Amino acid sequence: MFDVRRRDFISLLGGAVAAWPLAAHAQERVRKVGVLMGIESDPDARGRVKAFRQRLGELGWSEDHNVRIDVVWGAGDADHVRADAAELIRASPDVIVTNGPVPTTEVAKATSAIPVVFVQVPDPVDLSIVATLARPGRNITGFTHFELAFAGK
d(CA 7, CA 51): 8
In CATH, what number is assigned to the domain containing residue 90? 3.40.50.2300
Q: Identify whether the C-beta of residue 116 lies closer than 8 Å to the C-beta of residue 98.
A: yes
Mean pLDDT score, 140-145:
86
Helix (H) or strand (E) holding 37: strand 31-37
Domain assignment of residue 141, given as a range = 2-150
Residues 6+ away with beta carbon under 8 Å from 53: 63, 69
In this structure, are strands 31-37 and 67-73 parallel, antiparallel, or unpaired?
parallel
Please check the confidence at residue 116 and state whether its pLDDT lies above 60: yes
CA distances from 102 to 1, 4, 35, 108, 121 (A): 23, 23, 13, 10, 9
pTM: 0.77
Provide the Cα torsion 13, 16, 17, 21; round to 10°: 170
pLDDT for 147 beyond 80: no
For CA atoms 79, 75, 11, 96, the dihedral sign is: positive
Instruction: Work out how many domains the chain is built from and give that number.
Output: 1
Taking only the tens place, the pLDDT of each residue in 25-84 is 455 789 999 999 988 888 988 998 999 999 999 999 999 899 999 999 877 788 899 999
Q: Mutual orientation of helices 78-90 and 101-110 as an angle, nearest 10°?
A: 50
Query: What's the one-letter identity of residue 105?
Result: T
* pLDDT of 133 over the 60 cut: yes
